[in-house]
Structure 1
Amino acid sequence: MQFDRKDYSNDTLLHLYHHLLKPRMIEEKMLILLRQGKVSKWFSGIGQEAISVGSTLALQPDEYILPLHRNLGVFTGRDIPLGRLFAQWQGKATGFTKGRDRSFHFGTNEHHIVGMISHLGPQLAVAGGIALADVLDEKPRVTVTYSGDGGASEGDFHEALNVAAVWQLPVIFIVENNGYGLSTPSNEQFRFRYFVDKGPAYGMEAVQVDGNNVLEVYDTVKRLAEDLRQNPRPVLLEALTFRMRGHEEASGTKYVPQELFTEWAQKDPVENYEKWLLAEGILDEEARMRYRETIKREIEEGLKEADAAPVPTPDAARELADMYAPAGELSVDSGQLSASEEDSLTNNQPLTTDNDQLTTKPATEKRYIDAISDGLRQSMERFPELVLMGQDIAEYGGVFKITDGFVAQFGKGRVRNTPLCESAIVGAGLGLSIRGKKAMVEMQFADFVTCGFNQIINNLAKSHYRWGQNADVVVRMPTGAGSAAGPFHSQSNEAWFTHTPGLKVVFPSNPHDAKGLLCAALADPNPVLFFEHKLLYRSLSGPVPDAYYTTPIGQAALAREGHEMSIVTYGAGVHWALALADELNLDCDILDLRTLLPWDEQAVRRTVEKTGRLILLHEDTMIGGLGGEIGAWVAENCFNSLDAPIMRVASLDTAVPFAPTLEQDFLPRQRLRAAVEKMRSY
């Protein structure tokens, strides 16, 4: 192994040595503790330390790094206190995740590190979002993120690199090519020979380094970072290396030919660098032993601190509270509508006037779609850090024209057309949040959210609970059937997300709430899935205050008051229930949930206790729909108030059919009539 010191001082070379030796010595200690049962699991980076150490030390302290399992050198390179790092591995309360996650599954903004999730690939897109924030703020910074050669087979790898290339984001994508994805060798993962062959296809520079040569890694990343700060663009950096232990200790290494261990043992990054330093007279034997004694003492002190740290004490209230970032107080123009405006809103749309914060300024008749556009535009004015991302949302204005004219007002930096990369764009939203920005991601149709599902469920939803990082991201979801759009443009998929703690799910039924709830969602620091029924976009109008206001998330509203029965619903179901109540002269409560997660338990309780009869109506299919959850809660908590069995009315448990006749039979509107008549006669 050849080392080229170039113009680096002895202090720099010894600084690299100290940081290269430290993770090796920590790992050797951890492998002992693993056998003693003091550490539950370990993913060894022995043989790969030079990549983490060289790349980390080449960056500025405020530049983010997104490491993986085998990147201990990133954490030690950023001088994270070992006591807290060891407490994290032991699941102690003083760890970065308070015992909620393990190993390197955590982040720390203090040290500008965003740890991994087990799905590997999604973090690449998060790096892109962090870099985008730096570009928008005109900060000359780079972001470094890692992928293994196996993880690079995931679609997230392609999406992240493609978006970074299109947007010219200053990200260094480091592929640690160690030849195996767990036990699967490279020739069973991909057909190309080297990852540098991929760079030109993405329109980006690709560089290959000896991943076991710490000085080569350091020099290459330092040179690239200096260039990227002045000329932002992504670079694909392939580091050739080998792991000398199993994927994790329990998996062993029997699947690897012994000759590979013999070959790569000769390329050990620590031993080779140490021998070179000794041969060059930069390091002597006394100093070598002094480095080891210093690191050994630091490890022992860190273990002593971690061992003394308390184990987490179960506290259900704290656990539930930590799923969400505190929303704080929303700054709005408050006041009251005129009596005529209030009557108009109350008679035509759900409204809780004592809870909603309304403006004294005039209300204008607006379509549902225009109310959404209005709320989005005013939120862009109120929050300069808000960035909009979605397919065709810029000059074209989106397929529904909600963002028409936004580019002229806010510029293409904040109103961004995206490639067809739902996962990468949602991940970028989290990256923007890490740098203190807000993001709105528009799904062209709610059906397409499946392509970004992992990012929403496992990254956005869990981030605050795991390490205190909020995901300030709103995902807008045009949803619903009724327009003969077939199985892939009509699904009501809100229940996929109401099962996910950490998310908020909103579904307005009218223009007033559409604007107010969207403004509230964009002000909220938590991830919000905002569902908009496509059929209501241009078919429904109502008075909407012209000024900025918010409608509280988590509060239901009565669309109609009565005593005969209660219909609890949301979205288009509100209008089906209102129409049927008028037709049948039904004296009923119609409760519009408005928010599905968290849904308003007390409002449901009040209406059930008042009428004693409950119909749960939603456009979503029956099995697994939100109606089942609410019905179970009512049965458990309001059983003594019921005078009849709870009834659910929902769409057929099929995909959404294309032909209008089939679609109308699929939808629950006609079945609602039968349920109401049955409830009346019970």
Structure 2
Amino acid sequence: MPRPLTEADRLARYRALRVPRAVEDKMLRLIRQNRLSKWFSGYGQEAIAVGCALAAEERDWLLPMHRNLGLWTTRGVPLRPLFCQLMGREGGFTKGRDRTFHFGLPEKRIVGMISHLAAMLPVADGLGLAAQLRGDDAVAIAFTGEGATREGDFHEALNLAAVWTLPVVFVVENNGYGLSTPTADALPVEDIADAAAGYGMPGEVVDGNDLDTVIAVVDDAIRRARRGEGPTLLEMKTFRVRGHEEASGTRYVPDGLITEWSRRDPIDRYRERLVESGVDPAGLDRIDAEVAAEIEEVAEWALTQPEVTSTPEREAADVFAPSKPAPSPAGRTLVEDDVRFIDALSAGLADALDADDTTLLMGQDVADYGGVFKVTAGFAERFGADRVRNTPIIESGALGCALGLAVDGYRPVVEMQYADFITCGFNQIVNNLATTHYRWGVPVPVTIRAPFGGGIGAGPFHSQSPEAWFCHVPGLKVVVPATPADAKGLIRSAIEDDNPVLVFEHKALYRSLRGPVPTGEHWVELGHARVVREGADLTLVTWGVGVQWALDLAGVLADEGAEVEVVDLRTLVPWDRERVLASVRKTNRLLVLHEAGRTGGFGGEVAAEVAEAAFVHLDAPPVRVGGADLPIPFSKAIEADVYSAQARLLGAARRVLAF
């Protein structure tokens, strides 16, 4: 049982409430004075953030949203850099790269938000799983608004936390409006806490404007999580008395509703309770004055700090975490017998799991079943259920969970059952995983395995080649192995990289392609292309299954007297410009080949770069050969004759050579 509160305890709670309110008051004055452009106010909702932070211990993770300023102030985040962050001044936590609370402070066990609502709830699952795997009793407390409970990430996060009995407390801050939409217009139920029953967890409606109640209820949920009894859903009823952001106003709120809720102001209520218990109002006035003076001084100081500036070099340097160089291959020998692509890939995964206990695999059916392509067959028995984990069908939830694991020191590998299904997790990849290191400096060693490509008669939803989508996103690395040796070496390097890496594995190569593979541990450094075949007449740049097509083409053209140099990029981001340019300077001709549709394919980037950087060396225009701009048909005959880039490759190569 918690010990009885002393008067000093109650005064400390009051002070904790007054700090974010004083910040609110100052920010609203600055808005009116046109000295601040934007502010997302949590005025009147302070008891929720402050209460949760007071109930938690320093080892517990907090995942706040816009209106949870009290989490940061109660957790003891230094006010000067915090104000610089809020005002976009030099000395803030994100170097001017993001605003307000879109960042994390691992040293304070805080992971801030992105603008895509509910996206951080699966991240809390990952932080809870990390604590569970490590055997400590830390808990993750994650916040969302009532509007975001309609998002898929809310349901995926609750489901995963319940299935894995994770130590997570989900806090829904129901403040009556999603921007201008009343809660009643967006939700068909009155109490969101009722959703908890559908996931087998407790749910409770809480008076979010009563600090003592918030602390008591959150404390109970945390204790339950520490006992290993899993997650809890808490719905905090409160009201947003200011606009969605200050400039939007509150004209859409019915007359009298703000006045009604203002009578339930959490600070006024707590102050009245203290006075009724015998606390001297003069002492409370002194706290008010001290806090207001401190905030006034810090805010005015922050406004004197210079605007954030930078250089292109400095910004580019922080997009990716530094990479460790691959170990030297000295002393390794090639096996005599050919190894299948799939077996080499499995061997690279197993080596990574053997080498580092923080590496784990997640995905649909990856455990006992071994994945739909059996890449991880036998892994569950070999490495255990904690490290080879079946997830529900929740691509976004699994990827968000992986981010949480990475933030807390793990190296998760997430399998997308088919690359086509990666769209269901697109937001987590491009807006969360990709931006985290640039925004607040934490490494994100998450590897995403994506079986992709056509040629197996699988139709439009199991045959796509979406690698180019991700090449456009700063912060992601994209890898496409074309040989068994590279499958083993590239997956190992991807897992050991401190950045999010997508590894696209061509399904048609899994069991059809064999080749020599180095024995023992093997790495292939990311960003280094390989000249697969030397030639003097035409540079053919490709990746994945295109390498096999290119080698077949080179054999045909050799009989016609033309020597094709085949360059396998292996890594699309970062891609090896120098290796490609060196080849073009030798052959004076370029053809870029990829299986994906021609329009918008990554081949356009390669061709444009060569045209810009090596134009004077070209004796013919660069040519791209890609798939037809069509969905991939189910019929193998139509795919081969109409869609496939391979069908157009020979004619295109002859045109380039004849120019």
Same fold (TM over 0.5): yes
- CA distance in structure 1 between the aligned counterparts of 2:114 and 2:639, rounded to whole angstroms: 40
Read off the aligned partner of 2:658 and give its amino acid letter. Answer: S
| CA displacement 1:416-437 (0-9 Å, x = unmatched) | 0000000010000000011111
Q: Which residue of 2 aligns with 1:339?
A: none
Q: Which residue of 1 aligns with 2:385?
A: 412
| CA displacement 1:267-289 (0-9 Å, x = unmatched) | 000011011101211x3133112
Listed as ranges, the matches of 1:248-259 within 5 Å are 248-259=245-256
1:234 aligns with 2:231: yes
Listed as ranges, the matches of 1:188-199 within 5 Å are 188-199=185-196
Listed as ranges, the matches of 1:534-545 within 5 Å are 534-545=507-518
Contact 1:363 1:545 in 2 (8 A): no
State which of 582, 585, 590 in structure 2 corresponds to 1:609.
585
- CA distance in structure 2 between the aligned counterparts of 1:253 and 1:266, rounded to whole angstroms: 18
Q: Which residue of 2 aligns with 1:483?
A: 456
State which of 414, 417, 425 in structure 2 corresponds to 1:452.
425
Following TM superposition, by how much is the alpha carbon of 1:360 offset from its aligned partner in structure 2, in angstroms?
Answer: 4.5
Q: Which residue of 1 aligns with 2:482?
A: 509
Contact 2:334 2:516 in 1 (8 A): no
1:310 aligns with 2:306: yes
After alignment, is 218-227 or 452-461 more displaced? 218-227
Following TM superposition, by how much is the alpha carbon of 1:675 offset from its aligned partner in structure 2, in angstroms?
Answer: 0.8
| CA displacement 1:30-55 (0-9 Å, x = unmatched) | 11112233322111101111000001
State which of 288, 292, 307 in structure 2 corresponds to 1:292.
288
Following TM superposition, by how much is the alpha carbon of 1:232 offset from its aligned partner in structure 2, in angstroms?
Answer: 3.8
1:431 aligns with 2:431: no
Following TM superposition, by how much is the alpha carbon of 1:309 offset from its aligned partner in structure 2, in angstroms?
Answer: 2.8
Read off the aligned partner of 1:617 and give its amino acid letter. Answer: L
Listed as ranges, the matches of 1:326-365 within 5 Å are 326-330=322-326, 332=327, 334-336=329-331, 359-360=332-333, 362=335, 365=338
After alignment, is 441-450 or 260-269 more displaced? 260-269
- CA distance in structure 2 between the aligned counterparts of 1:517 and 1:155, rounded to whole angstroms: 33
- CA distance in structure 1 between the aligned counterparts of 2:11 and 2:136, rounded to whole angstroms: 31
1:647 aligns with 2:643: no
After alignment, is 310-319 or 98-107 more displaced? 310-319
Following TM superposition, by how much is the alpha carbon of 1:630 offset from its aligned partner in structure 2, in angstroms?
Answer: 1.2
| CA displacement 1:354-402 (0-9 Å, x = unmatched) | xxxxx25756521000111000001001110011100000000000111
Read off the aligned partner of 2:295 and give its amino acid letter. Answer: I
Contact 2:415 2:449 in 1 (8 A): yes
1:324 aligns with 2:300: no
State which of 638, 646, 659 in structure 2 corresponds to 1:669.
646
Q: Secondary structure at the match of 1:103?
A: coil
- CA distance in structure 2 between the aligned counterparts of 1:286 and 1:243, rounded to whole angstroms: 29
Flag the 1:284–1:393 CA change in 2: closer, same or farther, 3 A.
same
- CA distance in structure 1 between the aligned counterparts of 2:629 and 2:90, rounded to whole angstroms: 45
Q: Which residue of 2 aligns with 1:156?
A: 153
Following TM superposition, by how much is the alpha carbon of 1:600 offset from its aligned partner in structure 2, in angstroms?
Answer: 0.6
| CA displacement 1:589-633 (0-9 Å, x = unmatched) | 100000001111101110111111000110011111111111111
Read off the aligned partner of 1:621 and give its amino acid letter. Answer: G
Contact 1:161 1:202 in 2 (8 A): yes
Read off the aligned partner of 2:476 and give its amino acid letter. Answer: L
| TM value normalised by structure 1 | 0.94
Q: Which residue of 1 aligns with 2:104?
A: 107
1:63 aligns with 2:33: no
Q: Which residue of 2 aligns with 1:19?
A: 16
| CA displacement 1:43-97 (0-9 Å, x = unmatched) | 1101111000001111111211000010000010111111111101111231111
- CA distance in structure 2 between the aligned counterparts of 1:413 and 1:155, rounded to whole angstroms: 25
- CA distance in structure 2 between the aligned counterparts of 1:180 and 1:213, rounded to whole angstroms: 20
- CA distance in structure 2 between the aligned counterparts of 1:552 and 1:110, rounded to whole angstroms: 32
Contact 2:325 2:525 in 1 (8 A): no
1:634 aligns with 2:610: yes
- CA distance in structure 2 between the aligned counterparts of 1:129 and 1:221, rounded to whole angstroms: 20
Q: Secondary structure at the match of 1:465?
A: helix
| CA displacement 1:502-556 (0-9 Å, x = unmatched) | 0000001000001100000000010000000000000001111121121010000
1:120 aligns with 2:117: yes
1:593 aligns with 2:566: no
- CA distance in structure 2 between the aligned counterparts of 1:38 and 1:139, rounded to whole angstroms: 46
| CA displacement 1:213-259 (0-9 Å, x = unmatched) | 00000111112212211224010001111011111112111111122
- CA distance in structure 2 between the aligned counterparts of 1:259 and 1:296, rounded to whole angstroms: 29
Contact 1:83 1:301 in 2 (8 A): no
Percent same amino acid at aligned positions?
Answer: 49
Q: Secondary structure at the match of 2:505?
A: strand
1:380 aligns with 2:353: yes
Read off the aligned partner of 1:505 and give its amino acid letter. Answer: V
Q: Which residue of 1 aligns with 2:495?
A: 522
Following TM superposition, by how much is the alpha carbon of 1:308 offset from its aligned partner in structure 2, in angstroms?
Answer: 3.6
Q: Secondary structure at the match of 1:262?
A: helix
Read off the aligned partner of 2:504 and give its amino acid letter. Answer: F
Q: Which residue of 2 aligns with 1:462?
A: 435
Q: Which residue of 2 aligns with 1:620?
A: 596
Read off the aligned partner of 1:328 and give its amino acid letter. Answer: K
Q: Which residue of 1 aligns with 2:634?
A: 658
Following TM superposition, by how much is the alpha carbon of 1:6 offset from its aligned partner in structure 2, in angstroms?
Answer: 8.4
After alignment, is 361-370 or 24-33 more displaced? 361-370
1:421 aligns with 2:394: yes
1:246 aligns with 2:219: no
Following TM superposition, by how much is the alpha carbon of 1:300 offset from its aligned partner in structure 2, in angstroms?
Answer: 2.8
State which of 143, 160, 163 in structure 1 corresponds to 2:140.
143
TM superposition outliers: structure 1 runs of 4+ over 3 Å: 360-364
Read off the aligned partner of 1:571 and give its amino acid letter. Answer: G
Read off the aligned partner of 1:335 and give its amino acid letter. Answer: A
| CA displacement 1:556-600 (0-9 Å, x = unmatched) | 000100101110111111110100111221411100000001111
- CA distance in structure 1 between the aligned counterparts of 2:7 and 2:618, rounded to whole angstroms: 81
Q: Which residue of 2 aligns with 1:342?
A: none
1:187 aligns with 2:174: no
After alignment, is 518-527 or 258-267 more displaced? 258-267
After alignment, is 424-433 or 627-636 more displaced? 627-636
- CA distance in structure 2 between the aligned counterparts of 1:387 and 1:298, rounded to whole angstroms: 47
Following TM superposition, by how much is the alpha carbon of 1:651 offset from its aligned partner in structure 2, in angstroms?
Answer: 0.4
Read off the aligned partner of 1:560 and give its amino acid letter. Answer: R
Contact 1:565 1:614 in 2 (8 A): yes
- CA distance in structure 2 between the aligned counterparts of 1:455 and 1:9, rounded to whole angstroms: 45
Q: Secondary structure at the match of 2:120?
A: helix
Read off the aligned partner of 1:313 and give its amino acid letter. Answer: T
| TM value normalised by structure 2 | 0.97
Contact 2:165 2:228 in 1 (8 A): no
**How many correspondences in the alignment?**
654
- CA distance in structure 1 between the aligned counterparts of 2:336 and 2:492, rounded to whole angstroms: 16
Contact 1:39 1:89 in 2 (8 A): no
- CA distance in structure 2 between the aligned counterparts of 1:434 and 1:297, rounded to whole angstroms: 36
Q: Which residue of 2 aligns with 1:679?
A: 656
Q: Which residue of 1 aligns with 2:131?
A: 134
